[in-house]
Amino acid sequence: MGTQSSKPQPSSSARLTELERKQEQAKISELRNLLLGPARVQAERLKPYLDKVEPKDLSRALPTAIRLRNAQDQVLTDSLMPIVAAALKTAVKRDPQAVADAIFPVMAPAIRQAIATTFNQLIQSLDRSLEHSLSLKGLRWRLEAFRTGKSFAEVVLYHTLLFRVEYVFLIHRETGLLLQHVSRDGGEGKNAEIIAGMMTAIKSAWQDFMHDSFGNDPNASLSEIHVSNLAIWFEQGPQLVLACVIRGSAPEELRTNLMAPAIEAIHREQAEEIARFDGDPDPFVTTRHRLESCLQQRYEKPEGDGGFRVSPRLLIPLAVILLALVTWAFFSIRDKLRWSDYVKHLEAQPGIVITETGERNGKFFVAGLRDPMAVDPDRLLRETSMLSPSKVEGRWEAYQTLRPDFILARAKAILAPPDSVTLTLKDGMLDATGSAPRQWISEARRLALAVPGVTGFRGNGVIDEEILQLKAQMENEVPRFIVGTSQFAAGQTETRDRLIADARRLFALADASSLNVRMTVVGHTDETGPAELNDRLSQERAASVKALLVAAGLDGGRMDAMGVGSREPLQANSGAPGSEINRSVTFRVALEGPAPPRKS
């Protein structure tokens, strides 16, 4: 084209150029058809689809598309994961029942199996503990448990353990990275990564050593490590290694029947994940159940001696029954002891006579006689015994005991003596002493013999209260005299009249109570004047008062008159105005009961 365009021919050039352009366009169009033809046709065909994607078509392609993409990588799963998680969360929130129903078929068997396994382990451990608890060996182990602070069941398990797989690791063979691990106790195992790495390092070091030293096949691998009572078993697959940490000595079947099938199954099931492995252990979570199948343990079987053996499981109900019997016997014996103590205690109580004791309808009962003054048996039970009152029945008949203390108590209850009276009892004779109102004395005389157990009553020892009152009244009287005379001082008339009245009453009451009364009139003087004169004056004063009383009709034979001069002054200072009180008489009244009647 360059050569043609270089020719400068202006007249024909426009036509030529027109022709050339057409030719050129045709060529370009042909070239375009050649190069883009099929694509254009396709694009034309696709155009309507691009404008509008039909859901029908999409639904046809979607399952295949998902499957293809999923086989290719994990991007689709990763993208869908948050959506599925959110959807599930919403579903649980809106209608938990539907979700529960959906997962029930999966959860229920799993829960059942977990419970069954737990129970099985519990019964196994119980069986072993029971079996060994009574033997000599058992005693030795019990001692060991005591010494080490472990539980007995733990010690039994330890000694009867044949083997137990404690950990199972799934390790990426080439990198030594841990893909998954499970442990018997369910622990997370913080150092599992390091353990897995070290296992790989040891395996490869051992491989190198065997190869360098003995020219072994470099692919031959270490299958077991033993350290004391601990062993690590390796089961190697093409890309993965299964390692079991075992306590005790496991049988070869563990490897052939469990480990080898497990690693084979994992290789089969996880082929894609293994091929894609980039250090992410998450996809291998699904291998857990394979690993758990290797968590085996076995204990020593009980040594069969051919003789009769009671199954430990049968022992449990027997032990329960025995325990119940022992408990029942203990409480029963304890109650019986308490009962007999109570009965003894009750019998010792005054006013109670037991006629019958025993047991009836599961209760203790006691029957007898009881003085109403005696202790209340129910209260005694509550206060002195640990026995429950609901377990005791009492039947009591009232009676009156002739014990002196009870007779006396009864007499006190019936006669109700005032505090000033003392009652005593001797051989059925009730004695009352002290002082009391005349009415009580006469009532007591009437009632005393009606008190059961009282055969006689002596009330002479009780003085009429009024007599004592009169005596005190008279002994307080101080009638005064004119200086140097035996004549009453002015204003003493009232005193004189009262004296006469009191003395009359006193003498009369004493007679009524068969009391001897003796009254002494004592004359006093002040200290002025000579003693002889005073003595005589005081004597005269006493005699004049006695004469006054005799003149009033009182019995002079029961009265004395004496003078003490100024020797017994009523007030020490004889100076006026107090000294006038010393010019007086005072009275002393003596009461004497009649002599007790003598037995002839």
Partner 1 sequence: MIGKKICLLGAFAVGKTSLVERFVKGNFKEKYHTTVGVKIDWKIVKVADQEIKLIIWDVAGEDEFQKVKMSNLGGSHGYLLVADGTRGATIETAYQVHQRVIEAAGAIPFVLVLNKIDLTDEWEVDDATVAGLVDRGWDVIRSSAMTGAGVEEAFALISRKIVEK
Give residues in contact with partner 1 (CB under 8 A).
Answer: 172, 174-178, 193-194, 197-198, 200-202, 204-205, 207-208, 278-282
Angle (CA) 208-210-211 rounded to 5° is 65
Contact 564, 538 (CB under 8 A): yes
If the CB atoms of residues 212 and 253 are measured against partner 1, the closer one turns out to be 212
If the CB atoms of residues 16 and 202 are measured against partner 1, the closer one turns out to be 202
Q: What's the order of all strands across the beta sheet hosting 352-360?
A: 352-360, 363-370, 392-398
CB of 201 to partner 1, least distance (A): 4
- The alpha helices in 348-395, defined as continuous H runs, are 377-384
Contact 122, 90 (CB under 8 A): no
CB of 283 to partner 1, least distance (A): 11
If the CB atoms of residues 279 and 306 are measured against partner 1, the closer one turns out to be 279
Measured distance CA(517)–CA(589) in Å, rounded: 7
Measured distance CA(505)–CA(563) in Å, rounded: 25
Measured distance CA(244)–CA(265) in Å, rounded: 16
Mutual orientation of helices 152-160 and 136-148 as an angle, nearest 10°?
120
Contact 124, 132 (CB under 8 A): no
If the CB atoms of residues 190 and 598 are measured against partner 1, the closer one turns out to be 190
CB of 320 to partner 1, least distance (A): 52
CB of 81 to partner 1, least distance (A): 16
Contact 509, 470 (CB under 8 A): yes
CB of 168 to partner 1, least distance (A): 18
CB of 161 to partner 1, least distance (A): 30
CB of 208 to partner 1, least distance (A): 5
H or E stretch including 446? Answer: helix 438-447
Measured distance CA(158)–CA(128) in Å, rounded: 11
Measured distance CA(581)–CA(479) in Å, rounded: 9
At position 414, the amino acid (one-letter code) is I
If the CB atoms of residues 178 and 444 are measured against partner 1, the closer one turns out to be 178
Measured distance CA(159)–CA(152) in Å, rounded: 11
Measured distance CA(518)–CA(327) in Å, rounded: 83
Q: Which residues is 165 bridged to in the sheet?
A: 246
If the CB atoms of residues 201 and 416 are measured against partner 1, the closer one turns out to be 201
CB of 94 to partner 1, least distance (A): 33
Measured distance CA(63)–CA(65) in Å, rounded: 5
CB of 221 to partner 1, least distance (A): 12
CB of 78 to partner 1, least distance (A): 13
Closest CA to 582 of 474, 481, 494: 481
CB of 172 to partner 1, least distance (A): 7
CB of 60 to partner 1, least distance (A): 37
At position 80, the amino acid (one-letter code) is L
If the CB atoms of residues 200 and 297 are measured against partner 1, the closer one turns out to be 200
If the CB atoms of residues 283 and 529 are measured against partner 1, the closer one turns out to be 283
**487: which 2 tokens?**
């004549």
If the CB atoms of residues 171 and 441 are measured against partner 1, the closer one turns out to be 171
Measured distance CA(364)–CA(392) in Å, rounded: 5
CB of 235 to partner 1, least distance (A): 19
If the CB atoms of residues 221 and 492 are measured against partner 1, the closer one turns out to be 221
Query: What three-state secondary structure class fits 159?
Result: helix
Q: Which residues is 590 bridged to in the sheet?
A: 518
Q: Which residue pairs, CB below 8 angstroms and at least 24 apart, start in 255-262?
A: 258/293, 258/294, 258/296, 259/233, 259/235, 259/294, 260/235, 262/235, 262/290, 262/291, 262/293, 262/294
If the CB atoms of residues 195 and 454 are measured against partner 1, the closer one turns out to be 195
If the CB atoms of residues 204 and 469 are measured against partner 1, the closer one turns out to be 204
If the CB atoms of residues 194 and 314 are measured against partner 1, the closer one turns out to be 194
Task: Show Cβ contacts of residue 420 under 8 Å, excluding neighbours closer than 6 positions.
Answer: 434, 435, 436, 465
